[in-house]
Amino acid sequence: MAVFLTILEWTILSISIIYFVLILWFLMGWLKLGKQPPLVRRKHFSTQVTIVLPVRNESAQIGNCIQQLLAQDYPKHLYEIIVVNDHSEDNTLAQAKTYANTLLKVLDLKEEQGKKAALNHGITQAKGALIVTTDADCVMDENWLSHLVGYYEQYRPKLITMPVLYKENNTLFGQIQSLEFLSLIGISLAAVENKTAMLCNGANLAFEKEAFMAVGGYANNNNIASGDDVFLLHKMKKQFPNEIKALRHKEVAVYTHPQPTLKSFMEQRVRWGGKAKHYRDGFTIITSAIVLTFNLCLFIGLLFYPFYLKIGMALLVSFSLKCIIDFLFLFLVASYYGKSRLLSLFLVEELLYTFYVILVALKGLLTTNRWKGRIIG
């Protein structure tokens, strides 16, 4: 037992240093993103764009999202909106059809089901050379589309990943989620800038239709509950390693709400975590393993602390290193997006995160996933 505890002590210290270097790597990527020039409003555009909006049971919010998309200041003759209904059990389809016009088309899945199937159906019907995806619970500024297409026409990347932010929320639970989500968005954008893309969010993603077809779209991932965005990113990274870009600019952010309940939050995060067992991208696997191992070591160390007080120093040093580098990274990201006040919850979030990430990882790896009334994967 003494040998085991000594090994555990040194393992905790070693993995904490590795974790510190990893987050420092992302921090450097975020700082490099800050050197991007400001987005310039173009007066003339030439790119035909299709916005694909997959929906399922979104009657409470689809109208607001569609109105935001219809109000974009991008030339109307150069973009279309395709709403794809994924077997909704409420009146989502009927609501979407009330907005149908020459700019907006509504499609209804008949046999296939799932978000990937809905996206794929919309993309195959798209006229646009550039595909933009978002979710029905998102809203955006009226110049969102013109800004991102302006960037695309200047640099012509195969894929552009952009920020998704939570709207202001006055509940403690909502604010903790917002802080945690900022870290995910910051890391996903910084990793792209470092040429080690690993995460993105389909609620705010743009890619060339031709490139989507070239990598096989969502093929081989249709049975996985989530990950339409991440698995596509990994395919693009493999085939077009230098043609993926991240935009951190506030002008291209979309906004959504944090989860209203702990149950819905855990279901969402378990669904996200469950796809990790299907990753094939080396850097993503290594990063996930480092984060999980570090938090697992901290948890095990806490369990053995009453029986081996000496391990307390290793735990203190490791947790301190974690807090220092996490705070520095989150401070930069939160400050940029005007959410610095959330940092008052930093220690609460850090203490909860160790237990939460282990629980989510285990449930994601060992259980089935639930999404809008379906059990998937």
- What digits encode the pLDDT tens for the residues 108-138? 998 888 898 999 999 999 999 999 999 999 9
Average pLDDT on 314-319 reads 93
The encoded tokens of residue 280 equal: 């094939």
Q: Which residue has the higher pLDDT, 166 or 271?
A: 166
Average pLDDT on 77-100 reads 93
pLDDT at position 223? 60
CA dist., res. 28 & res. 256, Å (int): 27
- What is the tens place of the pLDDT at every residue in 224-234? 655 678 999 99
Contacts of residue 310, Cβ cutoff 8 Å, sequence gap at least 6: 5, 9
Q: What percent of the chain has pLDDT over 90?
A: 72
pLDDT at position 222? 60
pLDDT at position 8? 83
pLDDT at position 221? 67
pLDDT at position 226? 58
Whether the model pTM is above 0.75: yes
53, 199, 203, 248, 257 from 115: Cα distances, Å: 10, 18, 12, 26, 19
Segment among 95-104, 157-166, 216-225, 327-336 with least mean pLDDT: 216-225
Average pLDDT on 28-48 reads 91
Segment among 205-214, 217-226, 239-248, 310-319 with least mean pLDDT: 217-226
- What is the tens place of the pLDDT at every residue in 49-62? 999 999 999 998 99
